[in-house]
Amino acid sequence: MAWIWGVLVAASTVVGIVTGNGEGLGTAAVEGAKSAVTLVMGIGGVTCLWTGVMEILERSGLSAGLARITRPVISVIFPDSIGEDAEKNISANMSANLLGLGNAATPLGIAAAKELSEGDAATDNLCTLVVLNTASIQLIPTTAAALRASFGAASPFDIIPAVWFTSAISVTAGLAAAGLFRKLWRG
């Protein structure tokens, strides 16, 4: 992350000054910091509602049931043993992603991430979890469809088969890459 941040800022500053967009840079940085707070305020309420619902799922035994159903899939994606609590959270995280409940999926994924992490370097399982969550897998692409509708598409949801096809390829490529890096990555 250190390199990504450094390269983004350095490239922006150099390009901004060279192309004469320099004076907007300071404002952009301030706006970015401000929007981080607005963003968290905006999603905070919904996220807390969902972490509340998750607590019900947990105490009523529903998340254990869900984990049993998704176990075959999860054991293929995560070949190393991950423990029961992580499995429950990953299973609920994947289900929430599928339903398009991003704000519910995030705290579940984070709970799983905490269980999968050891020390300050990402474990193989944590990398896999992140890849799974950065490749959007949802049944109904609501944001994309809403955007299409607002620009006058005749039937905004007709992209669904294409989105499923694309998501499947993207997730497969990500998991294959993670599987390969798992063997080859040094450090």
Residues 14-73 that bind other proteins (CB under 8 A): 15-16, 19, 21, 24-25, 27-33, 35-37, 39-40, 43-44, 47-62
User: Can you tell me the distance from the alpha carbon of 35 to that of 31, in angstroms, rounded to the nearest whole number?
Assistant: 6
User: Can you tell me the distance from the alpha carbon of 85 to that of 173, in angstroms, rounded to the nearest whole number?
Assistant: 27
Which of 9/69 has CB closer to other proteins?
9
Which of 85/148 has CB closer to other proteins?
148
Binding mask 85-104 for other proteins (x = CB under 8 A): --------------xxx---
Binding mask 106-145 for other proteins (x = CB under 8 A): xx-xx--xx-xx--xxx---xx-xxx-xxxx-x-xxxxxx
Helix axes 124-134, 160-184, angle to 10 degrees: 160
Closest distance to other proteins from the beta carbon of 115 (Å):
9
Q: 74: Cβ–Cβ under 8 A, 6 or more apart, which residues?
A: 67, 82, 87, 90, 91, 94
Which of 94/156 has CB closer to other proteins?
156
Q: Tokens 């109904």 correspond to what residue?
A: 140
Q: Tokens 């599987």 correspond to what residue?
A: 179
For residues 163-182, which are near other proteins according to CB under 8 A? Answer: 163, 165-167, 169-175, 177-178, 181-182
Closest distance to other proteins from the beta carbon of 37 (Å):
7
- Which residue type, as a one-letter code, is found at position 37? V
Which of 28/69 has CB closer to other proteins?
28
Which of 85/144 has CB closer to other proteins?
144
Stretch that binds other proteins, among 10-18, 73-81, 83-91 (CB under 8 A): 10-18
Which of 73/146 has CB closer to other proteins?
146
Closest distance to other proteins from the beta carbon of 23 (Å):
10
Helix axes 124-134, 102-116, angle to 10 degrees: 170
User: Can you tell me the distance from the alpha carbon of 5 to that of 184, in angstroms, rounded to the nearest whole number?
Assistant: 25
> How far lies 114's CA from each of 8, 72, 125, 144, 174, in Å?
27, 22, 11, 31, 21
